A and B are shown apart, each in its own frame.
Chain A
Amino acid sequence: MRILHGTNYDFIKPWRIAIGVTVAFIATGLIFLGVHKGLNRSIEFTGGTLIQIEFAKKPDVGELRSTVDAAGFRGAEIQQFGSDTSFTVRAAGHQAAAGAKVENTATLIQAALEQKYGKSNVHIARTAIVGPRVGDELSRNAMIAIVISLGITMLYLAFRFEWRFGVAAVIATAHDLLSTLAFLAIMRLEVSLTVVAALLTVIGYSLNDTIIIFDRVRENLKKARPEPLYDVLNRSINETLPRSILTHVTVAAATLSLLLFAGEVIRPFSWIMLFGIVTGTFSSIYIAGPVLLWIERRWPRSRGGKEGPSPRNTAKASPRPPAPRTPVGAR
């Protein structure tokens, strides 16, 4: 059995449509961000108290809310967590920060619930209490981690391929980051540390995909017959298409089984991975390729192999750039 074997699609041609779609998606994400005033960050980042409660039988949500309100935590978020006997109560950081010790919030809520529903009917499965400073530090560390991993990747690719490939791959990856953030904003997924880990996994996965196409480009450019980069890119994407499809299918199979069977805690992680497969595939074909072409047009290799910026008089309208004079990667 072979699928999409020996295809010859022009993947680069509809680059305008592709960029239009992705810009529209990211813009939608930004609108959602504006409406909801930022991402839905977990208490790891915001600080505060989270309690996961397992009830013996389904509680009345209104009653649960009034119990928590009566305990002095008005405005605490109450959410169903997976099954209908499992709930999370989340009190914001400032409610605990004023004078009273932060660690008392959980105890007070727990006591109020036990009094209301009876000690044997309420089981505290999990509590998390985070001070405000920890969250700031985590946000900063998450940012640093993302920036550093992108930087290291760019350096590695510049070393293994050459700088144009590195920059194109990193731009494609940065696109994945933006569109995944837009996805997070639209889906209102809770951004926890696990989600940051998923984000970095998506980065790694998308890079994988881009590198595999670029590896083929590098190989095809080495061949004796000089060909415009436009055609080389298209041919490389077509040649790696069966691999891309099959790998995405197996990874999607693993991700779907996580999404459906691995439980509530890991669900945001699975959603992001699933979206990451889509955006990673999209960006390695429709972003990395055109960006590489664009860089090549702006800063073509000079005849002597010396790199340097060229005059900016290249025609902007045509996506088809002049053929590079010497094969890329032949250095």
Chain B
Amino acid sequence: MSNLKWRLALIGVLVLASIWALYPRNVKVRQRRADGTFYDTTSYRVPLRKGLDLQGGMHLALEVDDSKGVVADKSEAIDRALKVVRTRIEGLGVSETVIQKAGNDRILVDIPGIDDRERAIKIAQDQAFLEFQITDKTNAFEKALPRLDAIAREKGFGGAVASAGTKAPSPSSSLNGLLTTGADTAAKRGTGAKADSAKKDSTKADSATLGSGGPISKLILGGQMPGQFVVERSNYDALKLFFESPEVIAALPPGKVLRFGNDSTVLANKVYRFLYLLDERPIITGEYLTDAKPNQSPIEGTIVEFQLNNEGGRRFQRETARHVRDNMAIVLDKVVMGVPPVINSAISTRGQITMGGKDLQAAQDLALVLKAGALPVPLRVAEVMNIGPSLGRDSISKALTAGAIAIVLVVVIMLGYYHFSGLLAVGGLALYVLYTLAVLAGFDAVLTLPGLAGFVLSIGIAVDANVLIFERIREELDRGKTVRTSIDEGFRHAMSAIIDSNVTTILTAMVLYQFGTGAVKGFAVTLIAGICASMVTSIFVVRTFYLLWLNRSRGAQTLSI
């Protein structure tokens, strides 16, 4: 009797704990406004987490990109990259993001609710390596051009037709004439390093090709400041490829690098891209950056304002003092942002980057990645899964329908075959569903579509233990044992089979969890939770129901089974 009370109390406690675990509560969620920003709100719901395949969203796998140079210790590099990616993604302001390391060389990113694939990839993958480099003023590029022409002829550089050069004055005179113009256009404001946007009018038509002879030099025109050049946009792709080849990099003057600008300019109805020759050594890099925020200015359009820490500020001041009257290029991931401004006097901790024609969201994203810091290694996208929210809702409703039908069928079968005992099993099944969901909520497990399917399937499997026990009780009754003894013996004999079969299934599910990813992990977790719950309900709960019944109808001679 006291045994029975103790059993009932335990079941009661389990039920209460399950209800508490599943009781709808206020959950903080971030919602997206129409303009792309986020706000916090609370929503009253059951605390079960839905996987990406059920609620919609994006899954990314990033891996170390070793195509441009070998990365010695990938695992360590990924650890450092993970921190950066996490800061960036969390900066997006989406709730319940998952950012984790997988294996040795991969980062998995789950972002619920995001539907802009390109943008999310860009934020996660952009290296965001910020450098400040001084433009070359020794005419080194002009001197190197014959060598580049030679390489181009050797490689059979096709290139597009150079139609830009209408007249060809000597390069030096053209550049000298432009130097002053360039200096005038770059104004300094306060202590800010101001990257001027392209002054289209000042470039005029007096740019000229640097030489008409070689296949490369005929494509390149002098710019408005030392180290700046312009190329026609139609030639941009071919030249970019050419300049990235190792022979060309080796042929450049020592300590100098070639970089394209993100801006373009229009000359005589043609679109041109800027090209810069820069000192390879940056005067400062983005590692000293403490803050970055987007802004809009009526003159320069969209800008990102940044701030350096004290150490960076001191260094920046020292370096800029040495380079007064020089042009300073702000280089992000090897692309010059805006037009390099002239340094009029030493600059300390504040600066800005002009974004050209980009919109405010692009500036927001740039500020975000700058603040999070540069990625220590380049990453490439290994996998992208993008699931629309409507597909997820559809999946949930279908899985729920299937689950409801499965439950009805199982209940009908159990009641039809085992009558009263079947009713006890159905009671156990109800508790099984409750306990399983509670375990999932309690462990903060993620419900996925395969997980839901596994759960529906487990409803069919969950009664197996009951079936084993009931068949055993029938056998014992057949041997002429009393009802009470038969029930005891039935449970006792069925126990070993139930435990052995369930333990092997749990072992398989654990292997699945270990080697599976995403949705499959969710399936394994649901399976394990289901098996544990079904063992508790069939062995303990249904037994208690029997004890209760035996207690009520003392001396029962027959059992409806």
A250 to B515, CA, bound (A): 30
**Which of the segments A61-69, A266-274, A287-295, A306-314 contacts the partner chain?**
A266-274
Residue B98 interfacial (CB < 8 Å): no
Residue B430 interfacial (CB < 8 Å): no
Nearest neighbor of B103 in chain A, beta-carbon distance: A137
Looking at the assembled complex, report how far the CB atom of B265 sits from the nearest CB atom of chain A, in whole angstroms.
27
Q: Which chain A residues numbered 118 to 139 have a C-beta less than 8 Å away from chain B?
A: 123-131, 133-134, 137-138
Contact string against A for B residues 452-463, beta-carbon threshold 8 Å, 1 for contact and 0 otherwise: 111011111101
A48 to B503, CA, bound (A): 38
Question: Chain A CB within 10 Å — which of B53, B406, B459, B496 has the most?
Answer: B406
Q: Is the CB of B501 within 8 A of A249?
A: no
A148, A156, A266: the one within 8 Å of B453 (CB): A266
A5 to B416, CA, bound (A): 16
A133 to B67, CA, bound (A): 14
Q: Is the CB of B508 within 8 A of A258?
A: no
Q: Is the CB of B459 within 8 A of A2?
A: no
B390, B450, B496: the one within 8 Å of A197 (CB): B450
Q: Is the CB of B399 within 8 A of A203?
A: no
Given contacts A131-B382, A239-B475, contact A153 B504 (CB under 8 A): yes
Chain B residues positioned under 8 Å from A240 (CB to CB): 471
Contact string against A for B residues 490-511, beta-carbon threshold 8 Å, 1 for contact and 0 otherwise: 0001001100111111011101
B416, B449, B500, B511: the one within 8 Å of A265 (CB): B449
Q: Is the CB of A258 within 8 A of B500?
A: no
A162 to B398, CA, bound (A): 44
Q: Which chain B residues numbered 113 to 129 have a C-beta less than 8 Å away from chain A?
A: 117-118, 121
Q: Which chain A residues numbered 193 to 220 have a C-beta less than 8 Å away from chain B?
A: 193-194, 196-197, 200-201, 203-205, 207-208, 211-212, 215-216, 218-219
Q: Which chain A residues numbered 232 to 271 have a C-beta less than 8 Å away from chain B?
A: 239-240, 242-243, 246-247, 249-255, 257-258, 260-263, 265-266, 269-270
Question: Chain A CB within 10 Å — which of B385, B390, B467, B496 has the most?
Answer: B467
Interface of A is mostly: helix
A197 to B457, CA, bound (A): 13
Contact string against A for B residues 463-475, beta-carbon threshold 8 Å, 1 for contact and 0 otherwise: 1100110010011
Q: Is the CB of B449 within 8 A of A258?
A: no
Q: Is the CB of A262 within 8 A of B519?
A: no
Q: Is the CB of B453 within 8 A of A261?
A: no
Q: Which chain B residues numbered 377 to 429 have a C-beta less than 8 Å away from chain A?
A: 380-388, 390-391, 394-395, 398-399, 401-403, 405-406, 409-410, 413-414, 416-417
Q: Is the CB of A103 within 8 A of B401?
A: no
Nearest neighbor of B398 in chain A, beta-carbon distance: A263
Residue B485 interfacial (CB < 8 Å): no
Nearest neighbor of B387 in chain A, beta-carbon distance: A126
Looking at the assembled complex, report how far the CB atom of B168 sits from the nearest CB atom of chain A, in whole angstroms.
35
Q: Is the CB of A208 within 8 A of B505?
A: yes
Q: Is the CB of B468 within 8 A of A254?
A: no
A204, A249, A266: the one within 8 Å of B450 (CB): A266
Chain A residues positioned under 8 Å from B468 (CB to CB): 212, 243
Q: Is the CB of B387 within 8 A of A125?
A: yes
A261 to B468, CA, bound (A): 29
Interface of B is mostly: helix
Residue A1 interfacial (CB < 8 Å): yes
Residue A315 interfacial (CB < 8 Å): no
Contact string against A for B residues 514-525, beta-carbon threshold 8 Å, 1 for contact and 0 otherwise: 111111100110
Q: Is the CB of A103 within 8 A of B117?
A: yes
Q: Is the CB of A145 within 8 A of B514?
A: yes
Chain B residues positioned under 8 Å from A252 (CB to CB): 460
Q: Is the CB of B413 within 8 A of A197?
A: no
Nearest neighbor of B105 in chain A, beta-carbon distance: A133
Chain B residues positioned under 8 Å from A208 (CB to CB): 464, 501-502, 504-505
A145, A201, A203: the one within 8 Å of B515 (CB): A145
Looking at the assembled complex, report how far the CB atom of B496 sits from the nearest CB atom of chain A, in whole angstroms.
6
Q: Is the CB of A250 within 8 A of B385?
A: no
A218 to B495, CA, bound (A): 13
Q: Is the CB of B496 within 8 A of A194?
A: no
Q: Is the CB of B382 within 8 A of A270?
A: no
Looking at the assembled complex, report how far the CB atom of B479 sits from the nearest CB atom of chain A, in whole angstroms.
12
Given contacts A1-B416, A1-B417, A261-B402, contact A144 B515 (CB under 8 A): yes
Q: Is the CB of A149 within 8 A of B460?
A: no
Chain A residues positioned under 8 Å from B464 (CB to CB): 208, 247, 250-251
Given contacts A125-B391, A212-B497, contact A197 B512 (CB under 8 A): yes
Q: Is the CB of A204 within 8 A of B509?
A: yes
Chain A residues positioned under 8 Å from B278 (CB to CB): none
Residue A106 interfacial (CB < 8 Å): yes
Question: Chain B CB within 10 Å — which of A156, A216, A257 has the most?
Answer: A257
Q: Is the CB of B511 within 8 A of A200?
A: yes
Given A243-B471, A261-B398, A262-B401, 9 extra CB contacts under 8 A: A102-B381, A125-B391, A126-B386, A126-B391, A128-B386, A156-B504, A219-B496, A253-B410, A254-B459
B residues with CB within 8 A of A: 53, 61, 63, 103, 117-118, 121, 380-388, 390-391, 394-395, 398-399, 401-403, 405-406, 409-410, 413-414, 416-417, 449-450, 452-454, 456-461, 463-464, 467-468, 471, 474-475, 493, 496-497, 500-505, 507-509, 511-512, 514-520, 523-524, 527
> Which A-B residue pairs are the 7 nearest by beta carbons?
A254-B460, A253-B409, A251-B460, A145-B515, A215-B497, A262-B402, A263-B398
10 contacts across the A-B interface (CB closer than 8 A) = A145-B514, A145-B515, A152-B508, A204-B508, A205-B461, A207-B505, A251-B457, A255-B457, A258-B453, A266-B399
